[in-house]
Amino acid sequence: MSLWIKTKQLPNQYWAPISSCYEDARFPLEVRDVMSDWLECQDWNSIDESNPSNEAIARTMLNNLLQEMETRSITLNNDYFSTKLKVGQAIVDFQRIYSPNPLLLVHSIKKCLTIEQNYVNMNEGNGELDSSQLYENGEKMIVLEELKAATKRTSDLIVRLQEDQEVFNVELQEYKTMTMQAD
């Protein structure tokens, strides 16, 4: 049985953190539902979203996801009109949100699937935590991932600032040389 089918069978008390995760990722649950088999067939865990060299792989995954969403949206009949609209809007949103940083998509999907799996495991008796502990741990995991992302952004900014400083120093030296030659 697929993870999504098991997730949909979870008691209501587990849905708040799952919904919250998808809302934070701006990933509508309707899209999760329509794309469940495709999402679960991808090897998300093989992509290290903290490694910028994986951006090309993540971009391919994003493009494949968008293409598959478009295909599935077209095949939805009028009985699923609101879902069709939601998927169409998600395509636009995903392009806007994830095209500049496709690794964020990988991060978001991995996080949401992990939270789903944790709650399914707990519901099946394979988890050792009660719901409040799991929710708290899930929240801590989300905060940790956000801190990692902020640290990476800061690190990237520092590198750019160092490069700018080097360019400035070279230009300053050239200016001083030109000024001394002019005197």
Q: For the segment 37-77, what is each residue's pLDDT rounded down to a tens digit?
A: 999 999 999 999 989 999 999 999 999 999 999 999 999 88
pLDDT at site 123 = 85
User: Look-up: residue for tokens 């801590």?
Assistant: 140
Which of 60-74, 103-117, 127-141, 158-172 is least confident?
127-141
What does pTM read for this prediction?
0.67
May I ask the CATH architecture of the domain 3-182? Orthogonal Bundle (1.10)
Give the Cα separation of 141 and 135 in Å (integer).
10
Give the Cα separation of 20 and 50 in Å (integer).
22
Which 8-state DSSP code applies to residue 127? -
**Would you place residue 141 in the very low, low, confident or very high pLDDT band (cuts 50, 70, 90)?**
low
Token pair for 44: 């998300």
Decide: helix, strand or coil at residue 42: coil
pLDDT at 17 over 70: yes
Distance of CA 95 to the CA centre of its chain: 12
**Would you place residue 137 in the very low, low, confident or very high pLDDT band (cuts 50, 70, 90)?**
low
- In sequence order, the 6+-apart residues with CB closer than 8 A to the CB of 145 are 107, 111
pLDDT at site 146 = 78
Distance of CA 17 to the CA centre of its chain: 16
Domain chopping of the chain, boundaries: 3-182
